Structure 1
Amino acid sequence: MNLGRWWRRSWARIAPSRRLRLIEGDSLPSTLPRRDLVLAREDGEDWCVGFRCPCGCRRPIELLVIPEAKPRWDVEVDEDGAASLTPSVWLKVGCRSHFWLKRGRVVWCE
């Protein structure tokens, strides 16, 4: 494992939990927070969740959460405000990151 990958994985275990921020509307803002997730909600219906790739490439990731979407993700928030996503996020192009977000922490797939 190279030093950069080791550092990202180590930081993911000790960094503050990623939190969920709600915005009103059916689309994400043009600028996403550095660590947190943004959930776009319009009229009580969740549309999508967005965040920056945790590998460090800063690529914006947008995942649909509406029931009709395929593929779609589920977002859960615990009592401390930490977010979880299911299923895993696997980027097939670019940095090719594959990870879970569990209780605000990035869990990398090997």
Structure 2
Amino acid sequence: MTLRRWWRGLWERLAPARRLRVVEGDSLPQALPWRDLVVARDGDEDWCVGLRCPCGCRSTIELLVIPEAKPRWDLAVDAKGRPSLSPSVWRKTGCRSHFWLRSGRVHWCD
């Protein structure tokens, strides 16, 4: 295990859980919060979820959650407001991060 991976895991356990913020419309805002997820909601329909890559590369990740999209992710929020995504998020370019988001916490894939 590299020092960087160890540090990311420790930080993820000690930092507050990520939360979900809702914005009206079918697109994400230009600036995303550092840790939280943002869902673009138009009326009663969620369109996409945006977050900054948790590896620290500062890239924006946008995931579609509308039923017609392929690929698409499912977004669930627990009673404490902590978001979960499925399936996992795997960046094919850039930093190539691969992780699950469960109950507001990042779980890195090896």
Q: Deviations over 1:9-65 (max 9, x none)?
A: 111122111000000000000000000000000011100000000001011000000
Number of residue pairs matched by the alignment = 110
CA drift at 1:76: 0.5
* Distance in 2 of aligned mates of 1:94 and 1:9: 20
Matches within 5 A, 1:26-37: 26-37=26-37
CA drift at 1:5: 1.9
**Counterpart of 2:50?**
50
**Counterpart of 2:20?**
20
Structure 2 residues not aligned, in runs of 5+: none
RMSD of aligned residue pairs (Cα, Å): 0.7
* Distance in 2 of aligned mates of 1:60 and 1:30: 10
* Distance in 2 of aligned mates of 1:99 and 1:14: 17
Structure 1 residues not aligned, in runs of 5+: none
Percentage of pairs with the same residue? 71
Matches within 5 A, 1:61-100: 61-100=61-100
CA drift at 1:2: 2.3
